[in-house]
């Protein structure tokens, strides 16, 4: 693997109450924090707001906890598997076990809007007609469990996503020492402005290259 990749350890989670956000935050205390930035710019845009992501795992799933600072929290899209990233705020998760070609992309909006893709390979993604999302890439049945919380006074929204190994890990079930490529990104909109503020955990050279796996980080499952 590329020595320049961001590398993080993903610890095993202790049990916690999934409806208690204080308990959720505490459950990720030992998880390293990944920050979303605008790596393609020498200085971030004035409208940029930061986000922080932590991960953990259970016997059955990868857990992703995100805290997204946001001055204008909204997304009017409500339909499942609609491309809500074209209309409002979205947090994105990209995952690929290193032993397989297929990878997954999950979007979650502030009102828990969900969008799910399985991309057969990086090569297939590059060769598709530009702008198209093939219908067969959509994961038609909801496979992730997620919840969100909007904190308007704090100008922040929270995401907890539970992503089943049985969906993403097509070659083998993760165990201690398993490694996945990952990337987290977001579309942060302001109402009345059709151009979102983009950011990512990966060191992309261009803001339109979220699928560039050479820049993604490496997540290792640890005890």
Q: What's the pLDDT tens digit per position in 73-96? A: 999 999 999 999 999 999 999 999
Residue that is written with structure tokens 């919380």 in the block: 149
Residues 6 or more apart whose CB falls under 8 angstroms from that of 155 comprise: 49, 69, 70, 71, 73
Would you tell me how many other CB atoms lie within 10 Å of the CB of residue 160?
A: 22
Quick one: residue 3, left, alpha or beta (phi over 0 = left, psi -120 to 50 = alpha)?
alpha
Residues 6 or more apart whose CB falls under 8 angstroms from that of 15 comprise: none
Do 212 and 1 touch, CB atoms closer than 8 A?
Answer: no
Distances (CA, A) of 41 to 11, 204, 207: 32, 10, 9
Tokens of 81: 């598997």
Per-residue pLDDT at 4 exceeds 80? no
Residues 6 or more apart whose CB falls under 8 angstroms from that of 209 comprise: 215
Can you tell me the distance from the alpha carbon of 185 to that of 171, in angstroms, rounded to the nearest whole number? Answer: 25
Per-residue pLDDT at 154 exceeds 60? yes
Whole-number CA gyration radius for the chain? 16
101 SS3 class: coil
> When comparing pLDDT for 163 and 130, which is higher?
163
Which CATH fold would you assign to the domain 7-222?
A: Immunoglobulin-like (2.60.40)
The overall pTM is greater than 0.75: yes
Selection from 73, 217, 57 nearest residue 150 by Cα: 73
Antiparallel, parallel or unpaired: β 7-11 and 217-222: parallel
pLDDT in tens, 14-33: 889 999 999 999 999 999 99
Q: What residue segments make up the domains of the chain, in order of their start?
A: 7-222
Can you tell me the distance from the alpha carbon of 78 to that of 150, in angstroms, rounded to the nearest whole number? Answer: 16
């Amino acid at each position: 693997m590329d020595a320049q990749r961001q590398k993080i350890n993903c610890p095993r989670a202790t049990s916690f109450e999934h409806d208690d956000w204080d308990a959720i935050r505490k459950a990720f205390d030992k998880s390293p924090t990944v920050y979303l930035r605008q790596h393609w710019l020498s200085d971030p845009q004035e409208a940029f707001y930061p986000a922080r992501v932590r991960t953990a795992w259970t016997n059955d799933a990868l857990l992703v906890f995100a805290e997204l600072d946001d001055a204008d929290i909204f997304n009017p899209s409500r339909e499942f598997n609609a491309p809500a990233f074209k209309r409002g705020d979205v947090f994105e998760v990209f995952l690929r076990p290193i032993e397989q070609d297929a990878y997954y992309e999950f979007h979650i909006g502030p009102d828990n809007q969900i969008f799910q893709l399985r991309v057969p390979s990086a090569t297939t993604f590059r060769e598709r007609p530009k702008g198209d999302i093939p219908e067969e890439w959509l994961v038609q049945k909801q496979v992730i469990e997620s919840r969100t919380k909007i904190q308007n006074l704090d100008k922040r929204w929270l995401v907890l996503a539970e992503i089943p190994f049985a969906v993403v890990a097509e070659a083998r079930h993760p165990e201690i020492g398993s490694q996945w490529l990952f990337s987290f990104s977001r579309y942060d909109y302001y109402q009345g402005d059709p151009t979102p503020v983009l950011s990512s955990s990966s060191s992309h050279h261009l803001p339109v290259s979220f699928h560039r796996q050479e820049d993604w980080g490496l997540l290792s499952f640890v005890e």
